Amino acid sequence: MSQAVAHAQPLLYASTHPLPADFLTRLPVVTEKREEDAKEAPAASGVQEGQSGLRIAWQYQRYLDEQKALEERRTRQREATASATASTDEAMPSLHSSFSRPTVRSAFKASSRPEAPPPLDFCSSFDLRKQLGKEVLRLDTVHHHSIADLPALHAQCQDFVERLRPNRDVGRIVVHGLGQIPWEDPAEDWRYLALLRSLKGLVRTHPASVALVTLPTGSLPPGFLMRAQHVADTVLETQAVDEDDKELAAMFSYYGEIQGLLHVHKLALVNTQVPFIPEATSVAVSIVRRKRLTLEKMHIAPAFDDDVQEAGAGGSRAAVSAVACVGPKNAPSVLDF
């Protein structure tokens, strides 16, 4: 959502909260350019412009040129990949952080001129300490509604995607906390499921649109949740970590920095039948320097292996080999496979 505001792209936010605008005002702004980046930029430009600032041997100049060309090519690929991914189907913007980089301008500069979007790089780096504030509500590109009933929500979404300008806009629909108010009538399950299917149909029909729906797993019927996951193209789950969970804490050396876990249950499969296999289906969400939300692969601390080895020393070493090397259970030694 912050990305949509930063790039002046259309955004529809619908929530069960009576005042959905409150959530919008708390969106983070784009991170300011770091000082070290600012220092690196003129240094690099000095290298490009003239030889005076160059202190390395002249024969290495060609390596600099190749590096520069390679960097430009990667930047173009990132932008192309980002636009293609965003226009396919339901996806989570936070997943795009792997090919993002910090941007220069703040979101308010973008908000002052929504008709002419500033030339921002594609970014997913936002400062959690700063919030957009009420100025975001004055943007023409941002719409917010409170979910009264499902037909009205669908009508709003349909109206939103039909107003998208072709080859220019990438519409983002965010439905926050769908089904937050629990229901008792089982027929409601099918009404909500039909809404999800209709949303899927909308984003399929209008290719430059994305829909992100969050569901509270605690209050919804399990059967509905299972069916809803099958309807969605991409299924992600966030999980909070308990500070007192010693078993989990023993597995990670940086457990204190982890804010939660993000599990990838399903990824979109469009125009291909070969699924994308991610390196890890669970990543740790942590906040760096109290302002930047990052996704990191989980690494098991070496101490955890030692603990297992010590525990297995009393009984059999099979447990160690099974955990570390996936060796046979009856292996007489750790080194036997």
Question: Binding pattern to other proteins, positions 68-107, x when CB under 8 A?
Answer: ----------------------------------------
CB-count burial class (<10 Å; 0-12, 13-18, 19+) for 36: exposed
**Other CB atoms within 10 Å distance of the CB of residue 72:** 10
Residue with smaller CB distance to other proteins, 61 or 217 = 217
Q: Which of residues 281-320 bind other proteins (CB under 8 A)?
A: 281
Report d(CA 97, CA 293) in Å as an integer: 10
- Binder of other proteins out of 57, 84, 116, 226 (CB under 8 A): 226
CB of 18: closest distance to other proteins in angstroms?
Answer: 22
CB of 59: closest distance to other proteins in angstroms?
Answer: 41
Q: Give phi and psi for 64, each to the nearest 5.
A: -65, -40
43, 120, 136, 284 from 106: Cα distances, Å = 23, 9, 12, 27
Is 231 a binding residue for other proteins by CB under 8 A? The answer is: yes
Report d(CA 183, CA 224) in Å as an integer: 12
Is 205 a binding residue for other proteins by CB under 8 A? The answer is: yes
Is 222 a binding residue for other proteins by CB under 8 A? The answer is: yes
CB of 71: closest distance to other proteins in angstroms?
Answer: 29
CB of 288: closest distance to other proteins in angstroms?
Answer: 28
Residue with smaller CB distance to other proteins, 69 or 194 = 194
- Binder of other proteins out of 53, 223, 328, 332 (CB under 8 A): 223
- Binder of other proteins out of 136, 174, 195, 320 (CB under 8 A): 195
- Which residues 6+ apart lie within 8 Å of 169 measured at CB? 9, 10, 208
CB of 272: closest distance to other proteins in angstroms?
Answer: 7
- Binder of other proteins out of 151, 182, 260, 332 (CB under 8 A): 151
Residue with smaller CB distance to other proteins, 33 or 197 = 197
Is 218 a binding residue for other proteins by CB under 8 A? The answer is: no
CB-count burial class (<10 Å; 0-12, 13-18, 19+) for 91: buried
- Binder of other proteins out of 57, 84, 116, 274 (CB under 8 A): 274
Residue with tokens 């740790």: 284
Residue with smaller CB distance to other proteins, 120 or 210 = 210
Is 277 a binding residue for other proteins by CB under 8 A? The answer is: yes
Residue with smaller CB distance to other proteins, 130 or 227 = 227
Is 189 a binding residue for other proteins by CB under 8 A? The answer is: yes
Cβ atoms 125, 97 nearer than 8 A: yes
- Binder of other proteins out of 75, 180, 198, 294 (CB under 8 A): 198
Please list the residues that pair with 175 across neighbouring strands: 14, 213
Contact residues for other proteins, defined by CB under 8 A: 150-151, 154, 158, 186-187, 189-191, 193-195, 197-198, 200-201, 204-205, 222-223, 226-227, 229-231, 235, 265-266, 269-275, 277-278, 281
